[in-house]
Amino acid sequence: MTTVHEPAVTTAADALSVWPASAVEPREGELTVGGVPLAEVADRFGTPVYVIDEDEVRERCRTYRHAFPDAEVLYAAKAFLCRAMIHWVDEEGLGLDVCSAGELELAVTTGFPPERIVLHGNAKSPRDLDTALRLGVGRIVIDSPSEIARLAAAVGPDGHQKVMVRVVPGISAGGHEKIRTGTEDQKFGLSIPDGYAQHAIARILDQPQLELTGLHCHLGSQITSVKPYLAAVRRMVGLMARLHEQHGLVLRELDLGGGHGIAYRPGEPALDLTALARKVRAELTEACTAAGLTVPRLIIEPGRAIAGPAGIALYHVLSVKRTGAHTYVAVDGGMSDNPRPALYGVRYAPRLVGRHSIAAPAPVTVVGRHCEAGDIVAADVELPDDIRPGDLLAVPAAGAYHLSMASGYNLVGRPPVVAVDDGRARLLIRRESLEDIRSRDVGL
């Protein structure tokens, strides 16, 4: 999990730089992940299908634990969640960051310890809060002033709940304006300059059944530079110093959220985790020492950086259409299983697998099957000029925000998830069937 600096793809190793570490090409045109040929996965489970490398997930969890040995590492469940993922994260010693009663209940009923779970959300429903209290969630992150009275009433005068406050640090960072959450004037968190954060904290301190353990911030997603995190540390410690001066408050936790960027295509940058850990730790110690504060325990919430590079999406080509100066390669999936290109303009690097082509590469746009002009899987990429219906395409870095954001558009059904490890493929989540769709429709 280091930053990729190569300016261009020059070797076979470079071409596989955004794939799981287990990805190998035993023969030209064949690609295996976790010891399993991807063409075999497609034949056995059909397409579209998500493939996730279990060992890659586990290794990335371990990398975070080693880089941040004194911090609490919470896996951000919104990136990708299923019972197997919960089990892997638990075994590797990470906590969980959840955003709904659904994510929370799936985790706890799978056996994940609720005290190692943090509940987020800018608009938590009564069910979210009731479920969190019933299951004994470790901490609840307060995101708006109205949550304070609601939560205190739900806890009751004899109850107890640990909470944090999400603060807006006023820092712009992230790969797209729609995933930048550290700036003022957006839906997340409480502002420092207008006093909302300080006012909320004072109200929490007046509720004896709520225990304020620390502050939380989240700058955004797909951040590839360490600098915004260092700026966030300085601003958060500055607020902690003012709170100590005003209330004598000593906060023992500081959550810097996640948003750690990955490379989606060879040559793109990724956040340097080793540099992040070293520099954030040094910045936090220096800032707290200067302010006369005890250094709080650091909490981080990686999601994409753990699940994203471990996943692959497989599609079969349905048609190839040459029109004007463009070639459109249509596949049997699209924005219903990956809306991110339409939402954020994300660019992927699909690869032909299952056969060896000697044709020269040619520019194409890979499009989906849905009734939207914006249903694009990968714009302006190079594939062999003899690409044809029936070919199999594999899209790397597809483990995060694919299934979790998948929709029922055109009623095509959401794809299955298959785990690969040590030469074995097993089904984690089955394909959504027409019967699943019919059974929910009770309107006749």
Is the predicted pLDDT of residue 30 greater than 90, yes or no?
Answer: yes
Please report which confidence band the pLDDT of residue 345 belongs to, taking 50, 70 and 90 as the band edges. confident
Residue 169 lies in a domain: yes
229 in the same domain as 94:
yes
Are 138 and 266 members of one domain? yes
- Per the omega criterion (within 30 degrees of 0), is the bond before 350 cis? no
Residues of the chain with pLDDT > 70, as a percent, come to 93
pLDDT, tens digit, for every residue of 130-155? Answer: 999 999 999 999 998 889 999 999 99
Please give the pLDDT value at position 290: 96
Cα–Cα dist 403/417, whole Å: 8
Active site (catalytic) residues: 371
Tell whether 124 is covered by a domain.
Answer: yes
Within a domain: 4: no
Same domain, 365 and 278: no
pLDDT digits (tens, 9 = 90+) for 268-319: 999 999 999 999 999 999 999 999 999 999 999 999 999 999 999 999 999 9
Q: Which amino acid is at 85?
A: M
Residue closest to 313 by CA, chosen among 174, 422, 414, 412? 414
Mean pLDDT, rounded, for 231-241: 94
Task: State what percent of residues in the chain have pLDDT above 90.
Answer: 84
In a domain, 301, yes or no: yes
CATH number reported for the structural domain that contains residue 360 in this entry: 2.40.37.10
| Domain region containing 190 | 54-308
Is the residue at 409 inside a domain?
yes
Q: Tell me how far apart the alpha carbons of residues 218 and 78 are, in angstroms, rounded to a whole number.
A: 14
Shared domain check, 293 and 263: yes
In the chain, the number of structural domains is 2
Q: Choose the final residue of a domain: 276, 308, 340.
A: 308
Q: How many residues does the chain have?
A: 444
**Please, which residues have CB within 8 angstroms of residue 128's CB and are 6 or more apart in sequence?**
100, 101, 104, 119, 121
Residue 240 lies in a domain: yes
Q: Decide if 1 is inside a domain.
A: no
Shared domain for 161 and 24, answered yes or no, is no
Give me the mean pLDDT over the 162-178 stretch. 72
Q: Are both 269 and 173 inside the same structural domain?
A: yes
322 in the same domain as 265: no
pLDDT in tens, 400-413: 999 999 999 999 99
Tell me the average pLDDT across 101-119.
Answer: 98
Residue 5 has pLDDT above 70, yes or no: no
pLDDT at 237 over 80: yes
Rounded Cα distance, 25 and 101, in Å: 42
* Residues 337 and 274 placed together within one structural domain of the fold: no
| Same domain membership, residue 315 and residue 368 | yes
The domain boundary, picked from 289, 308, 327, lies at 308
Q: Which of 290, 308, 326 is the last residue of a domain?
A: 308
Cβ neighbors of 336 (< 8 A, separation 6 or more) are 368, 370, 406, 407, 408, 409, 410, 412, 414
CATH number at residue 282: 3.20.20.10
pTM over 0.75: yes
262 and 314, same domain (yes or no): no
**Half-sphere exposure for 143 (CA within 13 Å, toward CB):** 20
Same domain, 84 and 45: no
Same-domain check for residues 75 and 110: yes
